[in-house]
Amino acid sequence: MMKEIGRQWKNISEKDKAWYQSMALKDKERYRREMDEMNKLKEYHKLDNCELKRPKKCLSSYMIFVREVRCRVTQEFPDMNALDVMKEVGRRWQSISGEDKSYYQSLADKDKERFKRENQQYMKELEQLDSKLKSSKKNLIPTGDDLEVDNENFGHGNSKSFEEDSKVSIGPNGKKMRRDPNMPK
Is residue 167 within 8 Å of residue 178, measured between CB atoms? Answer: yes
Contacting residues for 57 by C-beta, under 8 A, at least 6 apart: 115
Q: Give 100's DSSP letter.
A: H
35-54 pLDDT per residue, tens: 888 777 666 555 445 566 78
Q: Rounded mean pLDDT of the chain?
A: 78
In the chain, where the domains are located: 15-51, 61-137
Among 53, 37, 25, smallest CA distance to 125 is for: 53
Q: Give 50's DSSP letter.
A: -
What percent of the chain has pLDDT above 70?
A: 66
CA distance 149 to 80: 74
Whether the pLDDT of residue 22 is over 60: the answer is yes
* pTM, entire model: 0.46
Whether the pLDDT of residue 106 is over 90: the answer is yes
Q: Which amino acid is at 175?
A: K
What CATH topology corresponds to 61-137?
Answer: DNA Binding (I), subunit A (1.10.30)
The pLDDT of residue 158 is 47
What are the CA-CA distances from residue 100 to residues 38, 76, 85, 119 (Å)? 55, 21, 20, 29
Percentages helix, strand, coil for the chain (3-state, rounded to 5) are 65, 5, 30
DSSP track, 17-44 = HHHHHHHHHHHHHHHHHHHHHHHHHHHH
Whether the pLDDT of residue 2 is over 70: the answer is yes
Give the burial string for 22-38 (b: 16+ CB within 10 Å, else e).
Answer: ebeeeeeeeeeeeeeee
121-178 pLDDT per residue, tens: 988 887 887 777 677 656 554 555 545 555 555 555 444 444 444 455 565 555 666 6
Do the bridges between strand 176-178 and strand 168-170 make them parallel or antiparallel, or are there none, so unpaired? antiparallel
